[in-house]
Homo-oligomer: A and B are copies of this chain.
């Protein structure tokens, strides 16, 4: 596995593959790699000649007071994980490499960013879309892989690719969970021992709402809120339900519905969701069990 830090090195590394018409699978990450990332590397490995992984903690997607400075960084360990996962090229640019002139022009997400995490984190998805567009431009992958866990991010990146006519397939991969149901996240390391004991209730709240067979989004939201409110540590950031992937108000009975939340523990703000297909007797379409 080749580790590169500049765009020039990256493009030199990829150039022989491109001229040989080999396909590139790309997994952009912020590092602190875990089993969720590894599942993306594995799918990319299965489908492409070359697997490119990027590790870049993107300052533009963190707001004031968020955890940009303390976001877990573990370069040596991440390199080992990427290597053992069969990645070919690991791209670890500096902030100056990705933003040589600061932020003179950005992608502004006008639709789908005013709800859920977009409301809690103003500008977050502008930062995500901007850096993903830059990374797509330098890597020029055939296919890019993202976790379904970040459902709003996935919807916005699919829209980004459609909007700017990028010749890239964006593929979402199922959320990887701990045995007790907690979604894998780089931020789980922030949890205290006590918080970790309660954390499985996050996903249980969603499962319980889904199992109720109820179909009214506001009732589903209320049910999830009721379960989350029983956790004695931390607090609810939001619980919301929308059509997916439009992230618009639910207005048809036969639609995909996302019920999603963010929950703020002392240091870790965790998100999770379920997508329900009301056209399909409440079963989930996205392998999220």
Contact = CB atoms under 8 A, between A and B. Distances in A.
Interface in A96-119: 100-112
A77 interface: no
Contacts of A112: 104
A159 to B, nearest CB: 6
Interface in A156-192: 156, 159-160, 162-166
Interface in A111-163: 111-112, 126, 129, 133-134, 137-138, 156, 159-160, 162-163
Nearest to A166: B137
Contacts of A102: 111
A106 to B, nearest CB: 5
A170 to B, nearest CB: 14
B163 A105 contact: yes
Contacts of A164: 105, 133-134, 137
A4 interface: no
Given A137-B164, A165-B134, A165-B137, A105 B101 contact: no
A246 B147 CA distance: 39
Interface in A53-110: 100-110
A7 interface: yes
A102 B111 CA distance: 10
A117 B60 CA distance: 27
A43 B269 CA distance: 55
A134 B7 CA distance: 22
Nearest to A106: B108
Given A137-B164, A165-B7, A111 B105 contact: yes
A126 B108 CA distance: 9
A111 B104 contact: yes
Q: Which of A110, A133, A163, A164 has the most CB of B within 10 A?
A: A163
B163 A104 contact: yes
Contacts of A163: 101, 104-105, 134
A129 B130 CA distance: 14
A190 to B, nearest CB: 31
A156 B104 CA distance: 9
B107 A103 contact: no
Nearest to A137: B165
A134 to B, nearest CB: 6
10 contacts: A104-B110, A105-B107, A105-B108, A105-B110, A105-B163, A105-B164, A106-B110, A133-B164, A134-B163, A137-B164
Interface of A: 7, 100-112, 126, 129, 133-134, 137-138, 156, 159-160, 162-166
- The list of the 10 closest CB pairs from A to B, nearest first, reads A104-B111, A108-B108, A137-B165, A105-B163, A138-B165, A137-B164, A105-B109, A106-B108, A104-B159, A104-B110
